[in-house]
């Protein structure tokens, strides 16, 4: 960790940090005034902190208080997701110590520390110092250990681990490409029975060891998958969770039953986390629905359904897909297309929406493949659906 960061965390550059709160990088006049409080390197460092804090807004609670860098922010768990995971962990282990491996800036550690002590481990001294500062700022209790997971002897305490999933600035979703990888993670799982492994939402569930895989969607964004093992395992292989609200569905992936009718009044698009988890069929036990067409993933039914798991659309019209035919229908009804959705069709939704916008309107065009046919569905959205 360099000298400037030591001074920042020690509070020695607080006047400069506060003076830089509203300054943008291109504001030369304000930048010159900041030089009255610190060196060029110190000014650059505090501006980077405020830039990272602004980018963290909506992702980290009280983002303006976090100690972080822009690079470290990219892998930080959202506060809402960290809180959800911490609740699951603390529900099992109470106020006992929990280890947070590869802790980064401490988003998960901060949430965990609110329910009991946490041991933060990272091989990067700066990120570890930031994590320690963030836990302390939240009023939590924590100990920081600078170490490489690959050579660290661990006691079998409940453990959360967030392996690095970026290489050359690009995100990697596969389990074998994590750092540390399976050669380290799987022996660790043998020594530590109660463990939560953070994964990207694109991870292939077939690659992961035994345990429950929970896919998490937060405010419409599919953000994470977590492998829960030991006492944390909820007993099902797959789980989908919506935040906020803690809506959850669990079970096994099964084949969807087809819609038995011919003219559905409503069609429904499952929210991303439900489809990604392979649990769409579980929803069919709650509602009278069927898959619109085999392999399509969209559902059909005759009743309006208010569910956070579905984006629901009332059917206005349907026809074989030909752009000119849809255009004539819109013109005849004085309507326009506001949103275009496609599934199994090669059309560019943005370009098509511009061409069919007309004089305005709030209709949705869904181009869906039915076998070899392409069908245009003209729909009206249900504003109460899919709020996950």
Q: Spell out the per-residue pLDDT of the chain, length 388, in tens.
A: 689 999 999 999 999 999 999 887 666 667 778 888 889 899 999 999 999 999 999 999 999 999 999 999 999 999 999 999 999 999 999 999 999 999 999 999 999 999 999 999 999 999 999 999 999 999 999 999 999 998 888 788 999 999 997 666 677 779 999 999 999 999 999 999 999 999 999 999 999 999 999 999 999 999 999 999 999 999 999 999 999 999 999 999 999 999 998 899 999 999 999 999 999 999 888 899 999 999 899 999 999 999 999 999 999 999 999 999 999 999 999 999 999 999 988 899 999 999 999 877 899 999 999 888 999 999 999 877 665 5
- Residue 62: CB partners within 8 Å, gap ≥ 6? none
CA distances from 355 to 94, 237, 333, 345, 346 (A): 58, 44, 16, 17, 16
Q: What is the value of pTM for the model shown? A: 0.92
pLDDT of residue 28: 65
pLDDT of residue 169: 63
pLDDT of residue 387: 57
Residue 237: which of 224, 221, 253 has the closest Cα?
Answer: 253
pLDDT of residue 242: 98
pLDDT of residue 68: 97
């Amino acid at each position: 960790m360099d000298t400037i960061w030591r001074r920042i965390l020690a509070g020695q550059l607080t006047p400069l940090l506060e003076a830089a709160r509203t300054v943008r990088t291109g504001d030369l006049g304000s930048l010159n005034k900041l030089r009255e409080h610190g060196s060029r390197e110190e000014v650059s460092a505090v501006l980077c902190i405020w830039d990272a804090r602004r980018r963290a807004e909506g992702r980290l609670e009280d983002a303006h208080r976090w100690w972080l860098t822009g690079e470290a922010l990219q892998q930080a768990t959202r506060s809402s997701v960290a809180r959800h995971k911490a609740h699951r962990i603390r529900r099992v282990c109470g106020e006992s110590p929990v280890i947070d491996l590869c802790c980064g800036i401490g988003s998960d550690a901060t949430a965990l520390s609110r329910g009991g002590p946490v041991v933060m481990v990272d091989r990067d001294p700066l990120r570890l110092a930031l994590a320690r500062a963030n836990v302390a700022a939240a009023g939590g209790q924590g100990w920081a250990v600078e170490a490489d997971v690959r050579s660290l002897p661990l006691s079998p305490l409940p453990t959360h681990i967030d392996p690095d999933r970026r290489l050359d600035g690009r995100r990697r979703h596969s389990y074998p490409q994590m750092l540390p990888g399976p050669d380290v993670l799987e022996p660790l799982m043998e020594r530590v029975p109660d463990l939560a492994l953070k994964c990207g939402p694109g991870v292939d569930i077939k690659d992961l060891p035994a345990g429950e895989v929970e896919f998490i969607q937060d405010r419409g964004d599919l953000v994470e998958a977590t492998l829960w093992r030991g006492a944390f395992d909820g007993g099902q292989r797959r789980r989908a969770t919506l935040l906020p609200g803690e809506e959850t569905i669990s079970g096994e992936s099964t084949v969807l039953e087809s819609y038995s009718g011919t003219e559905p009044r409503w069609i429904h698009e499952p929210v991303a986390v439900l489809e990604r988890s392979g649990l769409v069929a579980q929803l069919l036990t709650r509602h009278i629905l069927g898959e619109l067409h085999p392999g399509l993933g969209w559902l059909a039914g005759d009743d309006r359904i208010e569910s956070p798991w579905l984006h629901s659309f009332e059917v206005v019209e349907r026809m074989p897909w030909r752009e000119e035919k849809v255009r004539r229908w819109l013109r005849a009804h004085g309507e326009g297309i506001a949103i275009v959705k496609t599934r199994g069709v090669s059309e560019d939704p943005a370009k098509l929406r511009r061409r069919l916008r007309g004089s305005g309107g709030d209709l949705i065009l869904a181009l869906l493949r039915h076998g070899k046919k392409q069908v245009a569905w003209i729909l009206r959205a249900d504003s109460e659906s899919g709020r996950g």
